[in-house]
């Protein structure tokens, strides 16, 4: 595997070197895209639209260091290409988009990290949702994109709605949002502001479509190709393990609970996260909608053997081990008894949302927790360090690596 990772890192570095010569928006040509048959979510992820709960987490994120000098392509600073290209968004609308947008508003909390990954900068972004900003504060993005500090979080909201008048007054020249926001897109279009609507991902394939559509919108073809190659490599790795997963007996497949917010007992019960948990050999708790709230009695009946806690609140495994949650009794749950509760890492952004850019890293991390013996070949620390260097041209410190893995939060977990 180390040899494979080395070859992959060299390949990614070569692609990055080529992209440095071009950057985003270098072609200036039209890019009419094929529409993808991507399934929409049944409901908007309402539980993700609230601010994190009051902090009970003991670890404090370090102050952002001075940004490393990188050679990552940046689209924002130079506005030499004033042309446009056509994007067919996921509602079928033809949208004329600037080749080099200078003032972008992002309507979904999971999209800013994707925009950064494909552009290498957020200097041309003028507004993001509040929860995207709190995600920036606890993630590596605050080191990679310090320009986000103090950015506007009032023109776009956590429920994907936007203040059309405010965006027009701010001179926004591009809005990207989910495909559910057709009404606001029509209002923006009437004011001459292009708005590209992208379908939510329900599995890894449709997440790749999101990245492809975002890259087409931003005119960042080289970086997008590099990202999709990384996803394909990850898919190929799990394809090689499919037979071993299939051969597992029922007693070897642990019951998994994917918690989005502890206090409200909201969980990921449908979509990409349960899909991934199943892919790597787990039996996830399922519900009819993606994010919903089972009762404590439902959870006790399911009796998860492994629990994953997102970074949408600050609760940590110790809060469950010590049974500190008011109105909840976790004391008899297998995952708590055996100390197999884990705070999910946060890299470029929170890894737990179904549509975060670094989902391949999440896939491999969660695989090592659900089937540790089967995936003992994975060296996640080395892989993350290699990826940050090859893709973001950023050297992670040991302290930052520990922060990504939430080492302090997970200190009492097996």
Q: What is the 3-state secondary structure (H, E, C) of the chain?
A: CHHHHHHHHHHHHHHHHHHHHHCCCCCCCCCCCCCCCCCCCCCCCHHHHCCCCCCCCCCCCCCCCCCCCCCCCCCCCCCCCCCEEEEECCCCCEEEEECCCCCEEECCCCHHHHHHHHHCCCCCEEECCHHHHHHHHCCCHHHHCHHHCCCECCCECCCCCECHHHHHHCCCCEEEEECCCHHHHHHHHHCCCCEEEECCCCCHHHHHHHHHHHHHHHCCHHHHHHHHHHHHHHHHHHHHHHHHHHCCCHHHCCEEEEEEECCCCEEECCCHHHHHHHHCCCEECCCCCCEECCCHHHHHHHCCCEEEECCCCCCCHHHHHCCCCCCCCCCCCHHHHCCCEEECCECCCECCCCCCCCHHHHHHHHHHHHCCCCCCCCCHHHHHHHHHHHHCCCCCCHHHHHHHCCCCCCCCCC
Q: For residues 206-234, give the mean pLDDT.
A: 98
- Residues of the chain above pLDDT 90, percent: 79
Q: How many residues does the chain have?
A: 414
Write down the pLDDT at residue 291: 81
- Name the average pLDDT for the chain: 86
Q: Is pLDDT of 60 > 60?
A: no
Q: Is pLDDT of 371 > 60?
A: yes
| pLDDT band per the 50, 70, 90 thresholds, residue 79 | low
Give the span between the Cα atoms of 344 and 310, in whole angstroms: 5
Q: For residues 92-100, give the mean pLDDT.
A: 98
Beta strands 195-198 and 125-127: pairing type?
unpaired
Q: For residues 231-251, give the mean pLDDT.
A: 98
Range name among 49-58, 70-79, 182-191, 367-376 with the lowest pLDDT average: 49-58
Give the span between the Cα atoms of 197 and 49, in whole angstroms: 19
- List pLDDT tens digits, range 286-297: 998 878 899 999
Q: What are phi and psi of 361, to 5 degrees?
A: -70, -40
The burial of 352, by beta-carbon neighbours within 10 Å (0-12 exposed, 13-18 middle, 19 or more buried), is given as: buried
Write down the pLDDT at residue 148: 98
Q: What are phi and psi of 73, to 5 degrees?
A: -65, 135
Give the span between the Cα atoms of 43 and 34, in whole angstroms: 25
**CA 185 from centroid of its chain's CA atoms:** 23
- List pLDDT tens digits, range 140-150: 999 999 999 99
Cα–Cα distance list, 204 to 135, 231, 309, 345, 378 (Å): 22, 8, 21, 19, 20
Write down the pLDDT at residue 288: 81
Give the span between the Cα atoms of 117 and 360, in whole angstroms: 14
Give the span between the Cα atoms of 114 and 228, in whole angstroms: 12
- Identify the bridge partners of residue 144 per DSSP, sorted by sequence position: none
Instruction: Of 338, 342, 339, 321, give the one whose Cα is nearest residue 330.
Output: 321
Give all domains of the chain, ordered by start, each with its CATH number: 39-51+67-220 (3.40.50.1980), 230-404 (3.40.50.1980)
Q: For residues 124-152, give the mean pLDDT.
A: 97
Q: For residues 10-17, give the mean pLDDT.
A: 44
Beta strands 255-261 and 283-284: pairing type?
parallel
Instruction: Of 56, 137, 145, give the one whose Cα is nearest residue 403.
Output: 137
Q: For residues 93-115, give the mean pLDDT.
A: 97
Write down the pLDDT at residue 25: 56
| pLDDT band per the 50, 70, 90 thresholds, residue 63 | very low
Beta strands 341-343 and 306-309: pairing type?
parallel
**CA 51 from centroid of its chain's CA atoms:** 17
Q: Is pLDDT of 40 > 60?
A: no
Write down the pLDDT at residue 80: 62
Write down the pLDDT at residue 307: 98
Range name among 27-31, 146-150, 364-368 with the lowest pLDDT average: 27-31
């Amino acid at each position: 595997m180390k040899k494979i990772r080395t070859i992959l890192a060299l390949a990614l570095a070569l692609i990055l070197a080529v992209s440095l010569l071009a950057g985003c928006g270098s072609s200036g040509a039209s890019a009419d895209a094929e529409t993808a048959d991507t399934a929409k979510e049944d409901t908007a992820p309402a539980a993700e639209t609230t601010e994190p709960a009051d902090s009970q987490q003991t670890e404090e994120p370090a102050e952002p260091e001075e940004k490393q000098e990188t050679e990552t392509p940046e689209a924002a600073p130079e506005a030499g290409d004033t042309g446009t290209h056509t994007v067919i968004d996921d509602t079928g609308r033809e949208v004329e988009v600037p080749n080099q947008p200078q003032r972008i508003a992002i309507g979904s909390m999971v999209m800013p990290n994707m925009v950064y990954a494909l552009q290498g900068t957020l200097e041309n972004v003028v507004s993001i949702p509040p929860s995207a900003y709190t995600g920036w504060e606890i993630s590596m993005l605050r080191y990679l994109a310090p320009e986000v500090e103090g950015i506007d979080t009032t023109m776009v909201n956590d429920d994907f709605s936007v203040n059309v008048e405010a965006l027009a007054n701010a001179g926004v020249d591009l809005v990207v949002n989910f495909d559910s926001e057709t009404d606001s897109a029509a209002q923006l279009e009437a004011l001459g502001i292009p708005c590209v609507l992208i379908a939510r991902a329900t599995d890894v394939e449709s997440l790749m479509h999101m990245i492809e559509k975002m890259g087409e919108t931003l005119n960042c073809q080289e970086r997008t190709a590099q990202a999709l190659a990384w996803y394909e490599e990850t898919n190929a790795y799990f394809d090689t393990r499919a037979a071993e997963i299939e051969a597992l007996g029922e007693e070897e497949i642990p019951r998994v609970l994917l918690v989005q917010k502890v206090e409200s007992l909201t969980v990921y019960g449908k979509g990409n996260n349960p899909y991934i948990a199943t892919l790597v050999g787990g039996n996830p708790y399922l519900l009819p909608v993606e994010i919903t709230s089972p009762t404590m009695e439902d959870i006790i009946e399911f009796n998860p053997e492994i629990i994953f806690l997102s970074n949408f609140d600050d609760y940590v495994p110790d809060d469950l081990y010590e049974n500190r949650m008011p109105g909840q009794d976790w004391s008899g749950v297998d995952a708590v008894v055996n100390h197999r509760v884990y705070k999910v890492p946060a890299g470029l952004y929170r890894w737990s949302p179904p549509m975060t850019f670094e989902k391949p890293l999440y896939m491999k991390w969660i695989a090592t927790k659900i089937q540790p013996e089967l995936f003992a070949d994975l060296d996640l620390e080395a892989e993350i360090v290699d990826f940050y260097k090859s893709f973001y041209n950023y050297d992670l410190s040991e302290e930052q690596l520990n922060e990504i893995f939430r080492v302090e939060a997970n200190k009492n977990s097996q």
